Amino acid sequence: MSPSDTSRFLVAESLDSFPATLKGGIVAIGNFDGLHRGHRAVLGAAMGLGHGTHHPVYAMSFEPHPRSVFNPSSPVFRLTPYAQKLEMLRICGLDGALILPFTRDFAGIEANAFVQDILIGTLGISHAVTGYDFHFGRARQGTPDFLRDAGARHGFGVTIVQREEDEGAEVVSSTRIRDCLAAGDIAQANGLLGYRWFFDAEVRHGDKRGRDLGYPTANLALSEDCPLKQGIYAVKVRIGETWHDGVASHGRRPTFDNGAALFEVHLFDFSGDLYGQTLRVHLVSYLRAEEKFDSAEALTRQMDQDSAEARAALAALRPLSDIDLKLLDFSA
């Protein structure tokens, strides 16, 4: 079963379309890019409050990412683009999600108006749950303390979830995870996420050089703002409902043309036409940096070694968390 095939999950993309069945519910508020361990602590607190009650539990989030609205010339790389964020919220077990369009006008709403018009007037919330660093309203007037006071005045509960720290007592954040991807520190990125980071991409035509080397590849293009370090990776790939192990090269092929960056995936023990299909690729481990070789034969010898290392890494794969278990097929 695909992770998206779960129980009924309601999605509203405006206040006007907010479903009546979620009114009076417990809302977890945040951007939730990446749905990392800190975000899931917020969602977990909301779900814990809703357990055993009649209150629905849902997330309120915002699209596009606020940083991309305020600094459009330098948009933030999305760890989980919109569709993936919805999928992750769904498999976390929520009843739904309210995704509000984020614009400069929306950001200019007074904090009091956000509480009275949205949280109370439209949503009729019974409880709000946010992270320690969540702010809302014009000039970020809506601090956690502001929200607590508003809840006390208007009769709804407020829970502020303190920062989630890793094993080294450093805060878990989307920024840290992006930095880890840029450094090729996939183990750290996945540890902070609590699952193996993944992306979806359509297979495109390439120069088919991999076939000549004995390593046919599915060629994928990452988003232009993706900071992922170029190099060789062990990957787990889903095609439809089927899982495959593989090894991937992200880079410019310096041995041959040093061209535009591509993410090229070789699937072990697979044959077939993948052109036009969308693959889901989970990064399991970083094996080495991209290199230039003196000959195709030298490159092939290295690819043999890379494949052996990737197979070993994938054979040792174990779930990082319940959500990792839901996202990946560990029996494949």
Q: Rounded to whole angstroms, how far apart are CA atoms 226 and 178? A: 9
Other CB atoms closer than 10 Å to residue 184's CB: what's the count?
A: 22
Catalytic residue among 264, 291, 297, 309: 264
Measured on CA atoms in the order 214, 312, 280, 285, is the torsion positive or negative?
Answer: negative
d(CA 291, CA 148): 54
How far apart, in whole angstroms, are the C-alpha atoms of residue 89 and residue 9? 9
Tokens (6 digits) for 183: 């450094």
Catalytic annotation on 264? yes
Nearest to 263 by CA among 275, 251, 280: 251
- Which run of H or E residues covers position 278? strand 278-289
Length of the chain as a residue count: 332
Angle, helices 174-183 vs 186-193, to 10°: value is 160
In sequence order, which ranges of 71-173 are alpha helices (DSSP H)? 82-91, 104-107, 111-113, 144-154
Report the run of H or E that residue 68 belongs to, with start and end.
helix 66-70
Closest CA to 98 of 34, 16, 13: 13
Question: Are 130 and 30 spatial neighbours (Cβ–Cβ below 8 Å)?
Answer: yes
Q: Residue 307: which H helix or E strand, with range?
A: helix 296-315
Enzyme catalytic residues: 264
